[in-house]
Structure 1
Amino acid sequence: MIQIPRGTQDILPKDSYKWQFIEDTLIDVCEKYNYQEIRTPIFESTDLFVRAVGDTTDIVNKEMYTFKDKGDRSMTLRPEGTAPVVRSYIENKMYGDPNQPIKVFYNQPMFRYERQQKGRYRQFVQFGVEAIGVEDPLIDVEILSMLMAFYESFGLKDLELHINSIGDFDSRKEYQKALQEHFRPSIDEFCSDCQSRIDSNPMRILDCKKDKNHPLMATAPKITDYLNEESLSYYEKVKSQLDKIGIKYVEDPNLVRGLDYYTHTAFELMSTSDGFGSITTLAGGGRYNGLVEMLDGPKETGIGFALSIERLLLALEAEGIEIKNPHTLDLYVVTIGEEARDYASVLLSRLRKNKLTVDMDYKARGVGAQFRDADRKGATYTIVLGENELETGQVKLKHMATGEEVETSIENLGEAIK
């Protein structure tokens, strides 16, 4: 039997309404912050992700779904959202738009070949936000405010915002030297990934999940001690403004994020709920000051974040927050006989044009079975349509919850339901 690919999932009708509710809620928050949707292709040139994400990252080295197209070009299924947005920003010359910064959101599937865990899939849906075209601590604060508004709009309370500054490129250069001096004498005690990162990208050692409890992690140099005056001033302004608008945060000196294009503000949102599990990250992001130029664009900067809808669902479950199914069936037509079934089909078409949600039996079952079907489907009202009702043009509209019946004409059935 052909089965679903490992690391993917079917979102069935019994659950899809939750996704629709979450996406509608997130889009509503985006509109309040004046962010508009962007949609990019599901696959891009492999070179886009190699250059933007970084050839030392796990995403590029281990997790990308890459293939050759019929023109022998290397293509990759989109593993993350920022690089495609920046590519589109450059290609469509959005930097020339008088409305700056460019503020966009996306809601798209991503693909990474990684080990499946609870809330982590090889195909997953990422909702992300990007603000490109301005470098200002206040836009960083807006992004962080938006992130918190996303989760708080669902009633989530067990949240902890972690922030850090990874400085500009000059600050990072000095910091990376300090990390190499700190870790190199004992690097053979670390995993093979960390051993390869000691020269190529030592900051990524701090992000290692395998060696996170190694004693040297706790004593590693803090990047905030290596920030130059400009970077430190930027970070202090972000923190000051967060304090003014009442957003609580935890300073996390080991928070470096996994992608090479981040500079200055970096952040992650964690769930502190007891029932959430060992991997607590809900969302993450940061500022990227060199990415646009890296992809042959103008000297523009940006900031953004992305969240996994799968993990947002887990957070709601952990805090016992239920999403109610908004779907209602206004009317179920119980039919007796072939003529009544034919007429019911026409009646349903008319009622649907009247903006009612209606259904009928399509399996020619008995009356009792049809009523049970109406009950399973949660119908608010039912009518019985048979030879007598067709002759008189009158039906009894039954409220399924109370059993109350009201007689009405078939002609006025829609108004009676409303």
Structure 2
Amino acid sequence: MKINVVKGTRDLGPKETARFQEIIDKLDSISYFYCFTEVTLPIIEHAQLYKRSVGETSDIVRKEMYAFEDKGKRLLVLRPEFTASIVRTFVNNKIHALIDLPFKVHYHGPIFRYERPQAGRYRQFYQYGVESIGVNSPLIDAEVITYGYAALSFIGIENVILKINTLGDDDSRNKYREIISEYFQKHIHKMCHDCNERLQTNPLRILDCKIPSDQEIIKKAPKIHDYLSLASRERFNEVTKLLDQSDIPFEIDQTLVRGLDYYSEIVFEYHYYSDEGKTLGALGAGGHYSHLVKELGGPDLPGVGLSFGVDRLVEVLKEIEEDDNEEDYNSFVLFYLIPVGDVKIEDVYDVLMELRKQGGYSYDMYHEKKPLKTLIQKAKKRDARFLIFIGEDELKNNTLTIKNMKTEEQMVVNRQDAKQVIRSLFFSSMREG
């Protein structure tokens, strides 16, 4: 019986995996430039971590977590987001007492949410993000936002619109929540089921509804900027001023609230639009959190972070590069060894192992006896740059016959000189392209 891949998950072949790794490598470079240090965290966490941080009423906790009870009767979940885990490790390890703050980290790994699969969205997907914890300053907010914009540009995504908003401080948000509840109470009978639920649990989340008929009602709702405290207004203005100074273009979107309860003050999203106006939604998003560290048992310190959906970044780059999307399951090889004549396959294998011990480059061979023409075709399918022929003369004279597949040039070299010659051939082939 054939067993299919689980709904909402997918296999990544060599080509797609290489795309992912290339993006991760480039994001690592930007993280290094901005002095973010990498951390690696568990995939499984206690469910209580997200109930306390993301919020009992959030869609993630109510509908989307992959939760299970282990043999010790502990309620665990597959990680649905990273920020709470980063804050947990910050608190667990008392990092605030060990370093000069802020605590600046980057991370990447799989995330699991039971959502409806759609274009660019999966139930297991990959995130890359950064967090800066411990310093309460608009400069930190602006730095993280600027990092995100620079990162997208660095990996090759230019048509980006940064949308920003502020949720204000506690007083601003509480006041606005009352106002917005009164407004939506008058219209809720015309709105969707989710909006009806959110009115009872978290009215601000109604602003995030994407149903067109509800959007018309949302557009006419009171705006949070009319209810901001002086401190929140000044903080938001300072962040936007810093973005202007860094030549970061942005749009203020007063309906932007994000789906996680721990956010306060600045929130933001990065959207890509193709030349035809096509979008996959937000490529990345984040915001400021004032109380999450304290809520999880640490000192009263703020933080700000963002994360990118790497799956979506891959989809956008494929569109930009007009990639044919055809997977190639052949693994790349630089030097392909081919037995000639009646030599034993084991003798060629010994040469293969000898070359691999020298390191530096990829070597491979076909591990069964086949006609010479067949083996050359197999090398071409692997996109080999060079063929190394091993026949009786080569074994007797301790030599290698190396052929450049692009130029058709062929040379005989002593095996004791092979390391230096192969290095020279590699760099010459790189110049040839």
TM-score (ref. length: structure 1)? 0.95
Report the counterpart of residue 426 of structure 2 in structure 1: none
Report the counterpart of residue 386 of structure 1 in structure 2: 391
Q: What is the CA-CA distance between 1:211 and the residue it aligns to?
A: 5.0
Letter in 2 for 1:116: P
Report the counterpart of residue 48 of structure 2 in structure 1: 47
Report the counterpart of residue 38 of structure 2 in structure 1: 37
Measured in 1, the distance between the counterparts of 2:127 and 2:170 equals: 28
Report the counterpart of residue 349 of structure 2 in structure 1: 345
1:369 counterpart SS class: helix
Q: What is the CA-CA distance between 1:178 and the residue it aligns to?
A: 1.1
Measured in 2, the distance between the counterparts of 1:98 and 1:337 equals: 66
Q: Does 1:127 align with 2:138?
A: no
Report the counterpart of residue 214 of structure 1 in structure 2: 215
Conserved in 2, the CA contact under 8 Å of 1:109 and 1:124?
yes
Answer with 392-401 or 68-77: which moved more.
Answer: 392-401
Measured in 1, the distance between the counterparts of 2:277 and 2:394 equals: 56
Conserved in 1, the CA contact under 8 Å of 2:273 and 2:279?
no
Conserved in 2, the CA contact under 8 Å of 1:275 and 1:318?
no
Report the counterpart of residue 69 of structure 1 in structure 2: 70
**Which residue of 366, 372, 385 maps to 2:371?**
366
Report the counterpart of residue 330 of structure 1 in structure 2: 334
Conserved in 2, the CA contact under 8 Å of 1:276 and 1:314?
no
Measured in 2, the distance between the counterparts of 1:317 and 1:2 equals: 29
Measured in 2, the distance between the counterparts of 1:155 and 1:177 equals: 43
Letter in 1 for 2:121: R
Q: Does 1:412 align with 2:417?
A: yes
Superposition pairs of residues 145-184 of structure 1, within 5 angstroms? 145-184=146-185
Measured in 1, the distance between the counterparts of 2:59 and 2:247 equals: 36
Conserved in 2, the CA contact under 8 Å of 1:191 and 1:211?
no
Letter in 2 for 1:345: Y
Letter in 1 for 2:269: E
Conserved in 1, the CA contact under 8 Å of 2:91 and 2:298?
yes
Q: Does 1:400 align with 2:405?
A: yes
Q: What is the CA-CA distance between 1:363 and the residue it aligns to?
A: 2.3
Answer with 16-25 or 343-352: which moved more.
Answer: 343-352
Letter in 1 for 2:57: T
Alpha-carbon deviations, 1:20-39, whole Å to 9, x = none? 11111111111111101111
Conserved in 2, the CA contact under 8 Å of 1:340 and 1:385?
no
Q: 1:87 to 1:276 in 2, by over 3 A?
A: farther
2:131 counterpart SS class: strand
2:334 counterpart SS class: strand
Measured in 1, the distance between the counterparts of 2:166 and 2:6 equals: 39
Q: Which structure 2 segments of 5+ residues have no match?
A: 424-433
1:412 counterpart SS class: helix
Q: Superposition RMSD on alpha carbons, in Å?
A: 1.9
Q: What is the CA-CA distance between 1:94 and the residue it aligns to?
A: 0.9
1:384 counterpart SS class: strand
Which aligned segments of 4 or more residues in structure 1 are displaced greater than 6 angstroms?
none
Q: 1:276 to 1:294 in 2, by over 3 A?
A: farther
Q: What is the CA-CA distance between 1:81 and the residue it aligns to?
A: 0.4
Answer with 190-199 or 239-248: which moved more.
Answer: 190-199
Alpha-carbon deviations, 1:151-187, whole Å to 9, x = none? 0002211100000111011100011111111111110
Answer with 44-53 or 339-348: which moved more.
Answer: 339-348
Q: What is the CA-CA distance between 1:104 and the residue it aligns to?
A: 0.6
Q: What is the CA-CA distance between 1:139 and the residue it aligns to?
A: 0.5
Alpha-carbon deviations, 1:227-270, whole Å to 9, x = none? 10000010010011111111110011110111110000000000
2:368 counterpart SS class: coil
Q: What is the CA-CA distance between 1:339 and the residue it aligns to?
A: 4.1
Report the counterpart of residue 78 of structure 1 in structure 2: 79
Report the counterpart of residue 265 of structure 2 in structure 1: 264
Answer with 102-111 or 291-300: which moved more.
Answer: 291-300
Letter in 2 for 1:243: D
Report the counterpart of residue 431 of structure 2 in structure 1: none
Measured in 2, the distance between the counterparts of 1:171 and 1:114 equals: 32
Measured in 2, the distance between the counterparts of 1:126 and 1:34 equals: 19
Conserved in 1, the CA contact under 8 Å of 2:8 and 2:123?
yes
Q: What is the CA-CA distance between 1:383 and the residue it aligns to?
A: 2.4
Measured in 1, the distance between the counterparts of 2:9 and 2:278 equals: 20
Report the counterpart of residue 248 of structure 2 in structure 1: 247
Answer with 327-336 or 96-105: which moved more.
Answer: 327-336
Measured in 1, the distance between the counterparts of 2:284 and 2:399 equals: 57
Q: What is the CA-CA distance between 1:411 and the residue it aligns to?
A: 2.9
The sequence identity of aligned pairs, in percent, is 38
Q: What is the CA-CA distance between 1:337 and the residue it aligns to?
A: 5.5
Q: What is the CA-CA distance between 1:351 and the residue it aligns to?
A: 1.5
Q: 1:279 to 1:402 in 2, by over 3 A?
A: closer
Q: What is the CA-CA distance between 1:212 and the residue it aligns to?
A: 6.5
2:163 counterpart SS class: strand
Superposition pairs of residues 275-314 of structure 1, within 5 angstroms? 277=278, 279-314=280-315
Conserved in 2, the CA contact under 8 Å of 1:340 and 1:387?
no
Conserved in 2, the CA contact under 8 Å of 1:340 and 1:390?
no
Conserved in 2, the CA contact under 8 Å of 1:57 and 1:258?
yes
Q: What is the CA-CA distance between 1:308 and the residue it aligns to?
A: 0.7
Alpha-carbon deviations, 1:58-98, whole Å to 9, x = none? 11111000000111111111000001111111111011123
Measured in 2, the distance between the counterparts of 1:187 and 1:213 equals: 9
